[in-house]
Chain A
Amino acid sequence: MKAVEEQKVEEPRVGVFICRCGLNIAKSVNTTALVEFAKALPGVVYSEENQFTCSEDGQKSIKEKIKEHNINRVVVASCSPRLHEPTFRRCIEEAGLNRFLFEMANIREQCSWIYLGQIEKATEKAKHIVNGAVERAKTLEPIGMMRMKAYPSVLVVGGGPAGVEAATRLGDLGLEVFLVERNPFLGGKAMQLGSVFPTEDCGTCVSPCGNDLHRRCLYRSPVAHHPYVHMLTSTELMKVDGYVGNFNATLRIQPRFVDQELCMACGKCADVCPIEVPNEFNLGLDKRKAVYLPSNQALPRTYAIDPKSCTKCGKCVEACPVNAIRLDEQPRDVTVDVGAFVVATGFEVFDAKGMYGYGEYDNVINQLKLARMLDMSGPTNGKVMTLRDGHAPKSIAMLQCVGSRDPKTNVYCSKICCAIALKHAVSIAEQLPDTKITIIHKDIRLSGKEYEDYYYRAEDLGIKLLRGEVQKVTQNDDGSLSLNAVNEFGDPLQLDVDMLVLSTGVVQSKGTQELAHMLGLSLSQDQFLMERHPKLAPLDTAVDGVYICGTCQGPKDIQESITQAQGATSRVAALLLKGVIEVDLAKAQADMDTCVGCGACASACPYKAIMWNAFGRPEVIEAACKGCGICTAVCPVSAMQLRHYKDDQIIPKIHGILAPEKWFDEDKRGEPVVVCFACQWCSYAAADAAGSMKLEYPDNIRIILVPCSGRVDALHILTAFKYGADGVIVAGCLPEQCHYIDGNLKAVDRIDAMKKALDVIGIGGERLELIFAAACMPIEFAEMVTEFTRRIEKLNAEKKAQQAQTVTVK
């Protein structure tokens, strides 16, 4: 580990570059006026506007102007730092400046997009934002990087098609791979699908097709014998420590109760096992024993004992010819060091219980169960039958969008159900030509190469596509079903069918939330894992070194999942194959002269990154520090500081963004001014999303980016009030989803205390609020800040009235 030498910077000379962003900013903000404004600010030596500052021209101009005007601090007023901060940091670096001498003023998501066409308002707010950025820029210091070795290993979470693909490819690249699957068998949902669209071969035929152009059945997959891949089934990720290139993961291997080395899958154990339970692999269409293989294609092909149903009677132990059964096996924890994570945890099928008679009537099933019936080696040998009496159904209805595209359940489209329904309808029509099949849908969505063929095939086979909705399903005495439906014009119609198949949608897999928390990932609005940027970085996440692929990121089909897995391989390769990674040193730092040695910082640090040295003073372990700043906020004497977010780098910004004395006219001041400290992970992202959705919220919300809500200390809040804020919001991630373990919970305590203090000093605790907004909650964010502003308005009005009264009394 070696710190790069940090350059010293003299008197600040700030250059301000205002972006018009085509019309995105220029339509609402008078950028020319903003340039003039910026030029007049103390410390600013140069300002200009550009059509697109992020373009090559814009960047070239920045580099030229840095040289020409000897600029040593750069402010770009454009979009969100979440979008282009890396771009500009790289740009100034190329011009010879340290990358931390850069500040971004977000005048698009937080300004022009909220006040579309309201030039005066938007320009005014933009001035505040730019002023805040300039004030902060003047205080910025160069920060170096440290280089360290990265483990040439990867942990792949999830053993479905995406996980297997990623693991195999990464192994081929020579990286050591830990493929972790929490079920005893690999393959995920793909194994259950029977045949899959559009190729209509088996769903298990998804093993990587390498340079020999030869795709294989999963159970013949090279992953099972790959020299670089450790296949860990019945294993769960318990804990993750460390950071990019140097993660340490704790895995819990649940007992399989069967020794994988010894078991030869003769099946004698299952023969003698007295316990029979419904086979979940076949959705209860048949039974399995407590010691079982779920299907013929199972990988690994060694038996597993299901501890929930096993009574430990010991018959299998006696029957096993190789003594492979270990009924006393215990869970064990192992730790592995990995350089990166690939998350491929897949999806769950929406549970339609209680809808359309599902779970109540025998002949209402979902598409997955139908898939099990249609599987040639499945429980019914490929025959479709009504579950009530086992006859071939004479009429079948399929209902689309169950649990998708429905405000009551999930708003999003599950993307794969239309193709599944059509594929199943086509194969039933081929098997039972006389069976009438109706698909009731909102839109037929086939989105893939050659998927459209199903549409034409369905037409040829006489499958009826009915655009409409089902309102009620009732069961008749013979088990058949009556559907009350409406067509697209709202005309009521009745359908009598033997069988109703619900096309249930895709939902996040169990444990996604916990996994996200463990790795520090965010969830999007639809509760799937959020990518860093849908177009710039669809496979990366907000956490360096963690990549996502497959349906954990959102509904998608096998082909897309596998392509994503291949893409994730490329991202991991770019990170790890160099062997060395660079991490910036924007970490906490203690001032030994001021420190009183109270130890608050060390006990507050969520990562145990603060050690106590021999002199009774704290020492930050830079590699372990994640830069949350929680220690800074708890230090009673401000001796602990987070570099790049020091108190004297935040306070000038608060001042600047409020800065009443320069242009602020008390009379014009209609709405109260609110300062919002937003954490860089969720709340700031929510505000950005509110901007891109063009949600309007009160214009005097001034947002200040902080690493974590736990970084905001009393000083910042008081400073905001001191410089004229009417209210202060501290915004953090949802309670259980802090990206620094519990920074937001620490904020809860602090804000409570501050409220009381504000009451005491006469400002009033009601003027301070802590809100939680996940990145996927732009609407809620806008609502919360609007509501708060209303409250402040009311308080202001009351105060005014009170003051008036006081005057009258006098």
Chain B
Amino acid sequence: MSEELEQKIREEAKKLLESGEVRLVVGWGKGSAPFKTTPVFIDKPEDVDKLVWNPACTNNLAVYLPQLVKEGTIGIVAKPCDTRAVVTLLQEKQIERENIKVIGVACSGIIDESALKRAGIDLAEVREIKIDGENLLVTTNSGTQTVPMTQAEKEACRICEHRTPVFADVTIGEAPTAVEPEAVENMGTPEERRAFWAKQFERCIRCYACRQVCPQCYCAVCFIDRNDVRWTSKKPTPAENWMVHMGRALHLAGRCIECGECERACPMDIPLMKLNREVAEHVEKLFEFEAGMDPEAAPVFGRFEPDDPDPNEH
């Protein structure tokens, strides 16, 4: 099934390149390990065989769009979450509709190395991974292990409600049967929450991988880097780290499309999706707005309604 979709993706990419509609197609290519892929930038029709589609196609390629579209129309292979990122970029006028061609792909979940490790897989022993229904088959040096996708996938995928692209010029594949997204676990009393997040942010080394992989973090000068106004210091103390992550969560409110790349990219395994998911739920509850669904919609904090939730009623 995966191979069929892969073939279709290559065909679509070839069409776009041959017709000259796009100057290049950004998609995923083979990575340096069986459980990895890497972004590839195809500008020749004969190179489309470099494109792959498998449960390791994790990168949100929309992160490259604002820069790439400056030099012509770009084709992008996009998972449903990635298409939501494209929609948000359109809403915020970072890209123009006529400058992109979206090859949307239906998705049943993307694996996460940390999750695989927790499921007891030794990554050094892995030879091949393959999706089989709701399971991941991991072939290692000592045999094949079956890991349910719910254990092998990114946290963001585990709670994902969008298995089909929400916006695309062409959609490949069909949504797998609807999965009941698992609720985010309740984190308890205010004290428990404070203790939890204090422990998490303490680990932050301020590498900014989370920010750099995020398609929504495109500011020319991020608030973290500003010197004219010092929102936060460069020293990685728990207090400064708190400010960085809270500020980021705030700036992503109503914009985060929950692809989970931030959490995956974090070298210190900070569970960023927990926070981003909660914020997204607040936005949905307060303003009935879901990020990245309608390219014509105005950004949620760029407008208001007369009957918005009011502090007096809350």
A complexed with B = no
Chain B residues engaging chain A, CB cutoff 8 angstroms: none
